[in-house]
Structure 1
Amino acid sequence: MTSETTREITYIAAIMEAIHQEMARDEDVVLFGQSVGNNPEDPFVQAYGDGRVRVTPISETAEIGMAAGAALAGKRPVVDCTMAEFLLVAMDQVVNEANRFHYMSGGRVTAPLVLKAGYGFTAGWAGQHTGSIYGMFMGVPGLKVALPATPADAKGLMATAIRDDNPVLFLHHYLLTLENGPVPEGEHLVPFGQAVVRREGADVTLVATGWTVGHALRAAEQLAAEGVSAEVIDPRTIAPLDTATVLESVAKTGRLVLVDQATRHSSVSSVIAAEVAEHGFSSLRAPIVQVTALDASIPYSKPMEDYILPDENKIVTAVRKVLGAGVVA
């Protein structure tokens, strides 16, 4: 159920509101992390006590391992992992432990666990804290992956993640942290595996993830001034991935441009391109074009960073390319 009353709050405030409301709703929801609950003035400690809000050692393996154990014992842990790159330290726990139990037990065991982590922090953070590494998680059986692009979806997807009976990787983009948007008050749930059409169009389909959704929408505005009608789709979750909405749009427009902050060969866009090539080839009137980060680490230099990453101008150029391309034979 979603409230009809909305108000403007930030993307990060929407995420924390969802956690707060789920903790109030269900006493089995607990919050772990290296930077949570570390002083008595913490609002979560004040609301729920230090029994449900636990500061953890500076060890991703330990905090995620403890959370997996708590999930198997009937709790619903939310782990604030800070940055997506920190998950790499604990990959066995992330991709080979809690996500396997439901399958390996024949559906008798559940592990309701949320791993919350930021990603894509460019703006001068250089190579090791800027990765868009979600592609390496989207094909892991038993692990769901959410990539909210708006404050409302950030709240709704987090609430859905906490209620899910098995592990969810919830990735929030750092550059969206303080972005404002209308967010429903009270309970708000966004279903997994249901993409949303952010803008309807007839000439070309743009599919963008996370932070790049805003770029795609701004590119669509620029294209509209040129008489081009672009449809913009936000998958919202990449595991499960809603390919049906993309295929339906491509059947209408005949053209597809994919926008992704990840490097091309570890991107969501390459997976979507493969799905459309296999299941929607007959609809295509031009080759699929991908607008992704280049296959390079993010540099410290701002001009070089801009060169590496997708932006509105690169999206517009890609659309012009597919509009000028011949019909696929």
Structure 2
Amino acid sequence: MSILFTPLTIGSTTFRNRLWVAPMCQYSAVDGVPAEWHHVHLAQFASGGAGLVVAEATAVSPEGRISPDDTGIWNDAQQRAWAPIVDALHARGALAGLQLAHAGRKASTWSPFAGHRGTVPGDQGGWQPVAPSALAYEGYATPTELDLDGIDKVVADFAAAARRAVDAGFDVLEVHAAHGYLLHQFVSPLSNQRTDEYGGSFENRIRLLTRVVTAVKDAAPQALVAVRFSATDWADGGWDVDDTVRASAVVRDLGADLIDVSSGGLVAHQQITTGPGYQVAFAAAVRAGAGIAVNAVGMIDTGEFAEEILARGDADAIMSAREWLRDPHFALRAARDLGDAVAWPPQYERARWR
């Protein structure tokens, strides 16, 4: 049996394998409520053998949405809509994860399907975005700087969302502190120019993140809590790998169980060099330096490559995104390519071997 298809236990949570589905925004919700598209989209990955399926960035408040078409988890209707989707994932053998998110200054933007970019005007369903500082992301509206009451509301919104998520049945809650969204905006000096207890020093800049992780852990003690970091801003003077290792150790001590290591997204002038596995070294640095389980992500599109990463000890699990869109049965194919005798849905058994 390959490492990729060996079960993984983190705390009290056991995954059937280590090939997981990364969160991918679908921009297909109405009033934050997931619909039939989300049910079919996510359930197919569980049928395809994923060990964990993490649903898209899901806003903890209306103003936390990236676009008006994002999913949410701030009210009862959304919670009820997520529950049968979670049941479908469980029925197919996968664990269910939800990425809890607030877009900050990158909120109230048009979805990729709108045909144009930028901030959605208020008379077309948009709203005023908020951020640690009144600094706009290039091409977007200038956000309002959060005051201390606003920061307290963000923490309360994450906690309430965590409670709703576990009530809907989710096993894994991922705190989104990456890709230029609100928590990432707070930790990076490129977007945080505050002079109070939430700005300046490293300890101050991660203060909101640590409050959110603590609140989520307290609200949902039965869930596995992950944190997604952008390991580097890919820009001079920004958040970097050393910061990520240091912050990962801090959230580990607060009860986080897993670090999801990605990168970029904070500033438009980022300079990223991409290629297969281009973010794996960041995951390896966090795993070695912070002593916490990590998953690697980024152009990992074959079972053989995923197995190589795990065999080197660079990560504990692998998340992929686009490859699952190309092939919703990626895990079954990878197991077949690796010669692993994993269980297939009986309806698909005829395709297992030649």
User: TM-score normalized by structure 2?
Assistant: 0.28
Q: Give the strand-richer structure, 1 or 2.
A: 1
Structure ID, larger Rg: 1
